[in-house]
Structure formats: structure tokens, C-alpha cells
Amino acid sequence: MRDDFPIFKNNPRLVYLDSAATIQRPQAVIDCISDFYERFNANVHRGIYDLSEHATQLYEGARKRIAAYIGAESVIFTRNTTESINLVAHLFEEQLGAQDEILLTEMEHHSNIVPWYLLAKKTGAVLQVVNIDDNGDLDLDDFAKKLTPRTKIFCVTHISNVLGTVNPLKELIEKAHRNGTLVCVDGAQSLAHEKVDVRELDCDYFASSAHKAYGPTGIGILYAKKELLKNARPYQGGGSMIHRVSFEKISFAEPPMRYEAGTPNISGAIGMGAAIDYIQKIGLTTLLQHDKTLLAYAQKRFKEIPAIAIIGNPKKRSGILSFRLGKLHPHDVATALNTETIAIRAGNHCAQPLMKRLNEPGTTRISFGIYNTFDDIDRLVAALEKTLKILS
């Protein structure tokens, strides 16, 4: 599988353990993007000529395959998870007031905090936060307590990008719905690491990015239930998102076009389609098994070094593991590993409130892709032992 990824041909010694930040791309996805520019490049939804027609088919075809992959009829193309969540927050702007509450969790990424904070400031609504327990799971009692008649929307990550916690979405969504609360899922880490079926989950909004799922940067998706978008206000204004325009009156296009103002990221969308094809070719079951096997192996090897403390112990963990190495600061560890061409992430992972809860200045984190091997973990562990010797 490693052979599918040209980055390793160009960097033969690279041990890449930072796929949760952004994953490496297979040749098939890279080829699909250059192929588009070399053979089919034209704007979409505009030209009468064949080339534009073909580009439109590729773009809309990608949308269909991506939507089908998550069990949806359609999706809106955005830049990334962050933009998708900002879009959802924007939709709520005219619906919230000082009597309303927005419910978040302690393990959210800044992307799923800041848009809601801004919305709360604008509308007067109040932010509430579900606590996590010491294992890094959501505290379900606290969730039940904070879910009140005032709670209009619950915003929760599918997978924690720090602890790897996979949240019990179905149960959370069911409880929220029984309370009359809508649910927005941050699925940034999901597409290549967990099964997503928005219909089965019954989530109201689902946001994700391609670049963590073997696809290009600059493209993401937002799924929203059809009835929630039907009469929803527009987001950005411009070409493509309109039906009729005069200086006196403008009518808007139906979703998803209403939310895709201007020329979209055409090659990105097509590349994301190719990434989903790649995932399906390998098979999600294989991807999940790979995460699981590597995770178990890393945990076993980490236990051999007393100075390593794994952070959190969630009931279900994805291919993401944060740890502490003795008293060393995560950045010093990352610098040391870098000198051995091992790429890992260190810092607060855009989750400062979670760091505060964990009482850590930051963590050292590894995360997997299908190209990682046992040998990667062995090299990591050897480098960690060496780091301990040099820096302690």
C-alpha cells in the first residue's frame, strides 16, 4: 500500500505519523487532478461547449459519489470542515436569541468552538459545554444535564483529534432529538477512519474535509438534512448561487448550489471524488483494521518504556494516540524525532480548552494512515528512547 504514495518514493526515510493533521495522497488522486487540468479543464455550470459539459459531469459525479459514500443524497462543497461549520453557524444566526443555548463538548477542535462563540456573541445565546471524564470519554450524565429545553443545537466531534475518542454519535443524536435539539457533527477525522451513514445516524449536519481522507486540500463538504436547507438563508453571495438577479430583487438557487457562490474548487471536488474511490477500493473495513492493528502494536511497544504515558483511555479509540515522554515538553520531543525524519504532531492541536482540561501544556501525538507499518512504530520507539537519553 505504501507504494501507492509517491511521497515515500521522494522521501524514502520518512516516517509519517501525522495523518490526522493532513494525510498523504495516493498516486491515483494526484493523477486524477492533473488529468483534469490536462484533458478536461473548463468552468462548470456555464459553458455550452463539450469541455464545460464534461467538467460539469465530473464535478457533479464527484458530488454524487461522495454523498453516496456517507449515505446522503447530496452534499455542499466547501473549502474544509471549518468552512462547513461556519456555514451552519451562519444558518442559525436569525434563529437564536438570548434565551437559547448552544451545547459543545470539552474535546472540540477550535473549528467547532470559535464559530459558535462568534454566533453566541452575535445573538446573545449562551454556550454550554459537556465535560469529559478522565478516560477522555464524554460524560453522558453531564450531557443529559446540560441538554435543556433551551438547547437549540448540539455540536460534537465524531473523533477527537487529540485523544482518538470515537463518540457514540447515534446515542447522542437520539437523546438530542428527543429533546428537540439539532445536531451538528464535526466529521473532520471521519471519512477514512470510521463508517459514516448520515441517514442511519440521523444527524442534522455533518462537516468534513478531503485532506484527512486521501484527498486534496481546499475542499470539504457539508451535509445538511434537506428540509433544513429548503428555506435557509444564503451564505456568501455571487455567481452560481442565484436564480434570477435584478437590482430590485434576487431569488436564490436551490441547495446545494445556493451555498456554492462563485467558481468552485473544481479540481478539488474531482480529486475528493477520486479519494473516496481510493478508500472504497481498499475498503473501509481494511482501513479500520489497519488502524486497530497499528494502535494495538503502538500501545504494546509504548508500555515497554516506563517514561511513556499514554493520554486518555477512551472506550473506543481511532488511529490517534497522544502521549507524554517523561517530563519532556512535546516540542522538544518533536524536534528530536524530526532529526530522525519522523514526523509527528506536538502542541495543543487546536484544542486549547481540552489541554486545559487534561492539564497538559500540549501533547505529542501520532496518527495513522494506510501506509504506516510496524517498522514505523519500531523506529518511533527507538527514537523516543534515544531522545530520553539525550534530553533528560
Partner 1 sequence: MDELAELYQSILLEHNKNPHNKKKIQCVSCSAEGYNATCGDEINVDLELDNDVIKDIGFTGQGCAISQASGSLMTLFVQGKPKQEAAELANKVIGMLAGDAPIDPAQWGDLAALGGVRQFPARIKCATLAWHALLSALKQ
Contact positions toward ligand PLP, by CB under 6 A?
80-82, 109, 111-112, 157, 161, 186, 188-189, 209, 350
Q: Does 13 bind partner 1 (CB under 8 A)?
A: no
Q: Which does 80 bind (CB under 5 to 8 A by kind): ligand PLP, partner 1, none?
A: ligand PLP
Q: Which of 218, 234, 347, 353 binds partner 1 (CB under 8 A)?
A: 347
**Residue number with the smallest Cβ distance to ligand PLP:** 161
Choose among partner 1, ligand PLP, none what residue 82 binds, the Cβ cut-off being 5 to 8 Å by kind: ligand PLP
Q: Which amino acid is at 63?
A: R
Q: Which of 328, 343, 381, 388 binds partner 1 (CB under 8 A)?
A: 328
Choosing from 355, 357, 385, 388, the residue that interacts with partner 1 (CB under 8 A) is 355
Rounded to whole angstroms, the Cα distance separating 249 from 353 reads 45
Number of continuous H segments (helices) and E segments (strands) in the chain? 14, 15
Which residue's CB is nearer to partner 1, number 48 or number 390? Answer: 390
Choose the one of partner 1, ligand PLP, none that binds residue 209, judging by a C-beta under 5 to 8 angstroms depending on kind: ligand PLP
Inter-residue contact 157 to 107 (CB < 8 Å): yes
User: Is position 288 an interface residue for partner 1 (rule: CB under 8 A)?
Assistant: no
What phi and psi, each to the nearest 5 degrees, are found at residue 377? -65, -40
Decide whether 40 or 259 has the Cβ nearer to ligand PLP. Answer: 259
Residue 249 CB contacts under 8 Å (≥ 6 apart), including other chains: none
Shortest Cβ distance from residue 388 to partner 1 (Å)?
12
Active site residue 350: yes
**Beta strands in the chain, from DSSP E residues, in sequence order:** 15-16, 76-78, 101-105, 126-130, 151-157, 182-186, 205-209, 220-224, 242-245, 250-252, 308-310, 320-325, 342-343, 345-347, 363-367
Report the partner that residue 109 touches, choosing among partner 1, ligand PLP, none (CB closer than 5 to 8 A by kind). ligand PLP
In the bound state with ligand PLP, the residue whose beta carbon lies nearer, of 56 and 363, is 363
Residue 348 interacts, among partner 1, ligand PLP, none and using kind-specific CB cut-offs from 5 to 8 Å, with partner 1
Tell whether omega for the bond before 255 is within 30 degrees of 0, i.e. cis: no
Pairing status of strand 363-367 against strand 345-347: antiparallel
Q: How far is the CB of 115 from ligand PLP (least distance, A)?
A: 11
Rounded least distance, CB 110 to partner 1, Å: 10
Sole window of 87-95, 149-157, 246-254, 338-346 interacting with partner 1 (rule: CB under 8 A): 338-346
Which one-letter amino acid corresponds to residue 378? D
Nearest to 125 by CA among 89, 84, 75: 89
Q: At residue 50, what is the residue type?
A: D
Closest CA to 143 of 159, 155, 129, 153: 129
**Cα–Cα distance between 32 and 136 in angstroms, integer?**
39
User: For residues 31 and 7, is the Cβ–Cβ distance under 8 A?
Assistant: no
242 binds, among partner 1, ligand PLP, none (CB under 5 to 8 A by kind): none
Segment interacting with partner 1 (CB under 8 A) among 142-150, 227-235, 282-290, 340-348: 340-348
- Point out which span in 129-137, 227-235, 312-320, 334-342 binds partner 1 (CB under 8 A): 334-342
Output the DSSP codes for 187-228.
Answer: -TTTTTTS---HHHHT-SEEEEESTTTTS-TT-EEEEE-HHH
Chain positions contacting partner 1, by CB under 8 A:
328-332, 335-336, 338-340, 346-348, 352, 355, 361-362, 383, 386-387, 390-391
Query: Could you list the active site residues?
Result: 350
